[in-house]
A = this chain, B = another copy of it.
Amino acid sequence: MTIAADEPPVQGSDHSELSTPPLQDLQNAVIRFAGNSQDGIQTIGGFLARLAGRSAREVMTYMTIPSTISGGPSIFQVHLGSGEVLSAGDDTDFLVAFYQHSYDNHLSSLRDGGICIYDTDFVEPDLSDKRYEFIGLPITSTTIEAIGGSTKSRGKNMFVLGLVTSIFQLDRDKLVGIIERQFGKKDESVLRNVMLAFDAGYAYPIGDVYKNRFSLKAGTSTGSDRVTTDGNTALTYGLLAGGVRFGAGYPITPWSPVMEVLRSELPKYGGLFLQAEDELAAVSAALGYAYAGHLAVTGSSGPGLSLKMEALSYASMAELPLVVINVQRGGPSTGLPTSVEQSDLMQAIYGSHGDAPRVVLAPQDVEDCFYIAVEACRIARKYSTQVIVLSDQALSSRIEVFDEPDWDAVVVEDEGPALEDRPDDFKPYPLDGDTRHAPPGAKMLGGKYPVVTGLEHDEWGHPSANPEMHQKMTNRRRDKLKRLMEEIPTPEVFGDAKGDVLLVGWGSTYGPLREATGLLRDQGKQVSHMQIRHLHPLPKDLGEVFDQFDHVIVAEMNDEGLYGQGQLATLLRGRYANPKIKSITKTDGLTFKIREIVAGVSEHTGNA
C-alpha cells in the first residue's frame, strides 16, 4: 500500500538492472532510519516531516526510544505521501542502516524489493540476499571528511538528510530554510557544520543513480503551509485553546512533555503549572484550582493515573470540573514505558472506588489531540465533571501534518472564577438542574456559605446519610452524563452504512484501521470502519449502526482478558449484549500492522 500499485516491484539487487529506473513518481514512501539515539536521527526525521507540511504532503512518523538511559539503538521512521497517510507503514521502502545492529535488526522491516542504504564504514550486509537492493556508501568517513574531522561523526544525520533530499528530489531550498531556522539560533559554526554535512550528502555521487527514479509527488496544495507536530504538542495547545490556565503534574514518560510545555507556556497566559511532589499532590492541587473557580488540568501516564484514583473519586462526588490527561504506555506497572498500549480504558471509566461517573475521550490522530483537548475543556465546564483524555505513547511522539485550527472558532476565552453574588436560594447541586459551584470570593446573599465535600450531600452540599438522598444524588451524577450522551454525535462510518463487517476502534488505531478498511474494500470486501472518540459515555445510537452489519469487530491494543474480549469490546457487549461484537486484540507494544487487522477480520468472518 505504499508504492503506487501500477509500478512493477524491483527484484534483486543487481545494480546493472537499474539503468532504466523502474520506480518513479512515488505517492508514498516509508523510510526508516536505524542507528543510535545519539545520531540525531529524530532530528532529520523531524525535518522531513516539517518539509512535508510545507509541501502539501502528508506525513506520519514513528520512533522507538532506547531502553538504556545513555542512548542506544533507536529508529525513526517517516511515512511521506501525497495522498492520505494513515499509518507509519507496515513495511518500509527504504532502510538507512547506520550500524551492523541497525542492519541486523531492521532489514526484515523492508518490503520485498525495498532498498537498504548502509554505511560501509560500519555495516557488512549480506549482498546475496536477493529480496532487497543494497546501496552502500561510507557515510561516516565522508561526513568526517566534509566537516573537517573535529566533530567526529556528528553530522552523519545531516549527511543522510542531504542524500535523501537528493534521492527523492525533495525541495532543497525549503528544507535548508527549515534547517536554518532550527540551527540559526545557535553558534554560527554549528549551522556551518550542519550545512557542510548536508551538502556532502546532497552532492554524493551515488545519489545520482537514483535521482530520477524516485520523485515524491507533491500533494494538492492548500495554499498555506500546514502545521507539523506531534500528539503531545497538539494536545497541549488544545488545552490552552480550550481555556486551561492552571495545571499540576509530576513527570513521567510519555506524559512529561505536556507538562513541560504547559509550565513554559502558561505564564504567558497569566496562568501557572505546578510541578508537584507526586501525582497525589498534583491531582489535589488541580482540584484546588477547580474549587477556586478555574478550569484546570492534571495528567500522567498509567502509574500516575493509578495514584490519582482516590482524588478523582472525590471530584466525581464533589462534581468539580477537571481535565485529566493519560498518555498511555505499556503496562501493567512500569511495564514498557516507551511502548504503545491502550490498556487503561477500563481504569479510566471504572478505576475509582464507588460509582464515580466521569467522561472518557480518546483522540484518533495528532490533529485530533488538539480538538479532543478543546472538547474535554468544554465538557468539563458544561457538566462540571472530570474528563479523562486517553492519548498514548504512539500518538504522543509521532509527527503528522494538519491544517492550522481556525482560532476564532476554536479558542475559548478563560473567564476565570465566577465571583458574582449568589442569590438566597442558591443550591450547588439542584436535583432538577446542572451543578453550579460558587467559588470562594463569591458572596452568598443568603448568608450561608457552601462547603464542598466528598461525603454524600444534599442539594446545598450539606453532608447527608439519608438513604433517599444518596439514591437521588447517585442518579443525578449519572444522569448528567446521560445528558451528555444525547449530544455526542454518532461517529461517522467510513465505507457503506451496512455490510458484512464494521471495524470499530478507538484512539490512535484510527490510521491503521482506516487503511486496512480501504485495503479490504479495494479487495471487494463489504467492510466499513468507525472510530469511537467518546468512550464514556458512548455515543447513543451505536446499536442501530451495529444492526446494519453481520460482524462488529473491535480492534484494540490491549489484552483479550479472561473471556476473549478487549476492553472496548467488553464495554460494547456489556451495553448491547450483542454477540456479534467480536474482538481483535494485541499487546506487543507496537501499533497495529495493516496485515494484523486484515488477518483478524478474516478470522472472525471465516474468510481466510
Contact = CB atoms under 8 A, between A and B. Distances in A.
Contacts of A336: 455-456, 465, 470
Interface in A459-506: 463, 465, 467-468, 470-471, 474-475, 478, 481-482, 485
Given A67-B465, A310-B307, A579-B577, A355 B559 contact: yes
Contacts of A307: 280, 307, 309-310
A336 B465 CA distance: 6
Contacts of A346: 346, 349-350
Given A346-B346, A478-B561, 11 more contacts: A316-B333, A332-B353, A336-B465, A339-B467, A343-B354, A346-B349, A355-B587, A465-B589, A474-B587, A485-B562, A573-B574
A347 B351 contact: yes
7 contacts: A330-B456, A331-B354, A331-B356, A336-B456, A336-B470, A347-B352, A467-B589
A573 B574 CA distance: 5
Given A578-B577, A581-B577, A468 B355 contact: no
Contacts of A355: 331-332, 343, 558-559, 561, 587
Interface string A288-332: 000000000000001101110110011011100000000000111
A344 interface: yes
Nearest to A314: B333
A302 B577 contact: no
Contact of A563 (B67, B331, B574): B574
A134 B16 CA distance: 111
A36 interface: no
A357 interface: yes
Contact of A335 (B302, B332, B354): B354
A334 interface: yes
A474 B313 contact: no
Most buried by B among A309, A351, A482, A581: A309
A313 B478 CA distance: 28
A225 interface: no
Most buried by B among A318, A333, A454: A333
Contacts of A368: none
A471 B586 contact: yes
Nearest to A578: B577
Contacts of A485: 562
A541 interface: no
A393 to B, nearest CB: 12
A127 interface: no
A521 to B, nearest CB: 27
Interface in A534-588: 536-538, 558-563, 565, 570-571, 573-579, 581, 586-588
The 6 closest A-B pairs by CB, nearest first: A331-B354, A332-B354, A302-B353, A333-B454, A346-B350, A332-B356
A43 interface: no
A352 B332 contact: yes
A592 to B, nearest CB: 12
Nearest to A482: B562
Most buried by B among A482, A575, A577: A577
Contacts of A536: 562
Contacts of A574: 563, 565, 570-571, 573-574
A256 interface: no
A182 interface: no
A478 B354 contact: no
Given A454-B334, A562-B485, A470 B589 contact: yes
A467 B588 CA distance: 4
Given A313-B302, A354-B331, A355-B587, A575 B563 contact: yes
Given A336-B470, A482-B562, A310 B303 contact: yes
A100 interface: no
A357 B562 CA distance: 9
B338 A347 contact: no
A175 to B, nearest CB: 33
A338 B575 CA distance: 31
A507 to B, nearest CB: 15
A286 to B, nearest CB: 16
Contact of A455 (B335, B454, B560, B573): B335
A450 B177 CA distance: 53
Nearest to A64: B465
A453 interface: yes
A332 B317 contact: yes
A470 B587 CA distance: 7
A577 to B, nearest CB: 4
Interface string A41-73: 000000000000000000000000001000000
Contacts of A332: 313-314, 316-317, 352-356, 454
Nearest to A570: B574
A341 interface: yes
A599 interface: no
A461 to B, nearest CB: 13
A353 B343 contact: yes
